[in-house]
Every structure is written in structure tokens, then in C-alpha cells.
Amino acid sequence: MDKTVPPGAAILLDFIRETEVGRSDRASYDVIYGHNQGKLPQPLTTMTYGEVVDAQKGWSKRFRSSAAGGYQFMRATLIDLAKQVTSISGKDVFTPDLQDRLGYRLLVRRGYPEFITGKISLVEFAENLAKEWASFPVLVSCKGAHRVLKRGQSYYAGDGLNKALVRPEKVEAVLKQVLESARRPHEPVEEQTPAVVEKTVVADPGDLAKSPGKSKTVWTWALAGIGAAVSAAGDFLGGLDWRAQLLISAATVGFAVYGIKRRADLARAVRSLKAELEA
């Protein structure tokens, strides 16, 4: 069933197809009136819309009816639908999906929206269906196309060609099922996408994303090390002026304190990031 057809309508279309052609599988879409599809040069579902309409010209005489496809579209019906549905092209292939969409269009024309919203009764909608599909019976006595009808007769009874192929009780049961399905909320199926983890901007005290040459942490420890090395070299060479020694020692201590503080900040940032990833 074409996915654009609502669930309730899909149930009804499957039932119509099975009633009209005796089956509801993929092969049902290739059936023509009298099950004469084997006499066609190619399957109906491989023909274009225009080719089907052209071929139907001779079917009424040859097969007694131009009815084609799973929903037994008459030639006049297909021509009329093509005028109303401007998206249809004569070059469109007469696929099962296209037939489903056309079948749903006929349901709409026969009052499907009004039926599911309670604007027309089940009996009225059933009579509308019987007018569209001759195999469907009327549910109450009424005036048909050719004579007064009894419950269970085809709307076209008396024409020597059509008769109801399903009991009225079955039609009533299916229409109640359709009504229940159509009125039940149907949530659209959402395409599942990978969960997106919201990223929190965390300061990078250790400049982990930077190259070593641009990292403040690297330079801090490097300068502290250089200061310590210069001080040691001065002692080895006989000692430096006390003022120079004091300056180098102060710088070394400053770099060391700064480096220790950044190391603590880095540890906190890493713990925070780990906690976020595990959440």
C-alpha cells in the first residue's frame, strides 16, 4: 500500500481490491475485467497511464468492460481522474502505488473524509461505495441505478452484468474497523538519529589543544627549569652576584608556583570533562 494513504483508508482499499478482483496481493494490481490480463501483451503495472487508457478503448467490446487494475478503474474514471489530479502524467507507469493513490482519490470523492468525521453515516458511505464499485452491496433498501433494491444487492443490479460479491454484514464490519482506525491517533514515525551530546565549553588550562611551542604550561616549566639551571651553573663557576642570584631565584619560584597552579586547574578540568562524558 502506498505510504501516503491513511491507515483507515488503506484497510478499506485492501478490502475493495480483494472484493473486486478476488485477491489483495501484488498480482491484484494487474487484473483486468474477467481476469483477462493474460491476454494482454504486457502486465498492466508495466504500462503507462496513457497506454492503459488507450488500451481500454477496445476492452469494453472485447471483454465486456474496461475495468482495470486492483480497483477496477473504468476508462472514463481514469480520464476524469487525470483531469482532476494535475500531477498525473500520461507517461506515469501504472504501478501499485499509483493505483493506491488513485483509489484513495475515489474514496475521498465518495465521502471518506465526511464518513470518518461523522458528517455522513455508515449506511450513506456504503451506498456511495456501491455506486463506485459494483461488487459492493447497499445496506438498506433504496433506489438503485436500474430498479428499487433490497439490502445486499449491487447498486447496479438489473443491468445483466453486475452483482454484489460480498455480504452487507462484512461491509458493515470492515467500515466499523476503518472508522476505528481512522479516528485512532497515529503518531508519525520519526527517523531515529544518534543522540547529540551537548558540549560544555571547558577552559583548557593545560592548553592541550595547542602545540608545545604555544603552550603556556610548557613555557612555564621550561623557564623555571632554565632559571634553576642558570643558578646551578653560576654556583659551579664560582657564584653569581647576590642580586643576580636573588632575581633568578625569585623568577624560578614564581614560574614554579604558576606552573603548580595551572597543573591543579588542569586536573580539575580533566575531572569535569570525564564526568560529562560519563553522564
C-alpha pair distances (Å), 113 with each of 41, 118, 128, 150, 168: 39, 9, 13, 27, 22
Dist CA 61 CA 53 (whole Å): 14
Of 159, 174, 172, which is closest to residue 24 (Cα–Cα)? 174
Dist CA 246 CA 148 (whole Å): 121
Q: Long-range contacts: 263-268, Cβ < 8 Å, 24+?
A: 263/206, 263/217, 265/203, 265/205, 265/206, 266/205, 266/206, 266/208, 266/217
Q: What is the pTM of this model?
A: 0.64
Dist CA 173 CA 110 (whole Å): 19
pLDDT at 192: 39
Could you report the average pLDDT of every consecutive run of 10 residues in the chain (279 residues)? 94 96 93 93 96 92 92 96 90 96 97 96 97 96 94 92 93 96 64 38 46 55 59 55 65 64 62 54
The b/e string for 263-276 (b: 16+ C-beta within 10 A; e otherwise) is eeebeebeeeeeee
- Amino acid at the residue 30: D
The strand pair at 148-149 and 142-143 is best described as antiparallel
CA angle 65, 172, 2 (to 5 degrees): 60
Residue 40's φ and ψ, nearest 5 degrees, are -85, 150
pLDDT at 21: 94
Q: How many CA atoms are closer than 13 Å to the CA of 34, on its beta-carbon side? A: 13
Contact predicate 175/12, CB 8 Å: yes
* C-alpha 36 chain-centroid distance: 36
Written as one string, the DSSP assignment of 13-68 is HHHHHHHHHS--SGGGGG-BGGG-GGGSSS-GGGSBHHHHHHHHHHHHHHHS---B
